[in-house]
């Protein structure tokens, strides 16, 4: 059972790590992988305490995703409405791009963030240059959120790996 659990954990963790670049669900996939592994090994290796820490890391990543978009937009002069436009645009873009495999999701998210901030800012401020800056800030924020989620995913994977290695009987 442990070999099956480890195989599932490795496959889902790799999928989750790759998904960070294409969607917001990468760390969630890693979290689910850890839960499946924990359940299949009776929580003897990945304990409930470890799982709770992984859950907290996942939640921190979700919060950071939006924080980075907000900070990116604000650093480039976006209004509050433009920041909301970036977030909504990113969600709409991701949904619209989902039908075009992974790259469509990635491009849809980035284009949605940019257009959401840009169009809202243009409607409110009627300033093309400021609108371009707002859209650019949202995209830079998204890049920052991807970096943060990669770091969080690495921490999650290292935690799980350490628990698994420490449980080996050599």
pLDDT at 103: 78
* Residue 130 DSSP symbol: H
**H or E element: which one contains 156?**
helix 128-167
* Domain-wise residue ranges, the chain: 2-167
Using the predicted structure, report yes or no on whether residue 160 has a pLDDT greater than 90.
Answer: yes
**Mean pLDDT, rounded, of the chain:** 92
Radius of gyration (Cα) for the chain, nearest Å? 19
Statement: the pTM of the whole predicted model exceeds 0.75: yes
Q: To the nearest 10°, the Cα dihedral for 58, 60, 63, 64?
A: -110
Q: How far, in Å, are 4, 35, 38, 164 from residue 41 at the CA level? A: 10, 10, 5, 11
**H or E element: which one contains 101?**
helix 101-125
pLDDT tens per residue, range 65-118? 889 989 998 999 999 999 999 999 988 998 888 788 767 888 888 999 999 999
């Amino acid at each position: 059972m442990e070999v099956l659990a480890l195989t599932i954990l490795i496959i889902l963790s790799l999928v989750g790590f790759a998904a960070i670049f294409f969607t917001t669900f990468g760390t969630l996939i890693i979290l689910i992988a850890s839960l499946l592994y924990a359940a299949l090994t009776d929580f003897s290796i990945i304990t409930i305490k470890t799982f709770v820490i992984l859950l907290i890391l996942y939640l921190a990543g979700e919060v950071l995703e939006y924080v980075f978009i907000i900070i990116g937009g604000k650093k480039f002069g976006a209004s509050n409405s433009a920041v909301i436009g970036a977030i909504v645009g990113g969600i709409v873009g991701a949904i619209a791009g989902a039908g075009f495999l992974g790259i469509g999701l990635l491009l849809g998210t980035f284009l949605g963030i940019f257009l959401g901030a840009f169009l809202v800012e243009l409607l409110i401020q009627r300033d093309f240059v400021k609108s371009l800056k707002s859209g650019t800030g949202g995209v830079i924020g998204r890049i920052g959120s991807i970096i943060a989620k990669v770091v969080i995913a690495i921490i999650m994977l290292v935690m799980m790996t350490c628990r698994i290695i420490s449980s080996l009987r050599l």
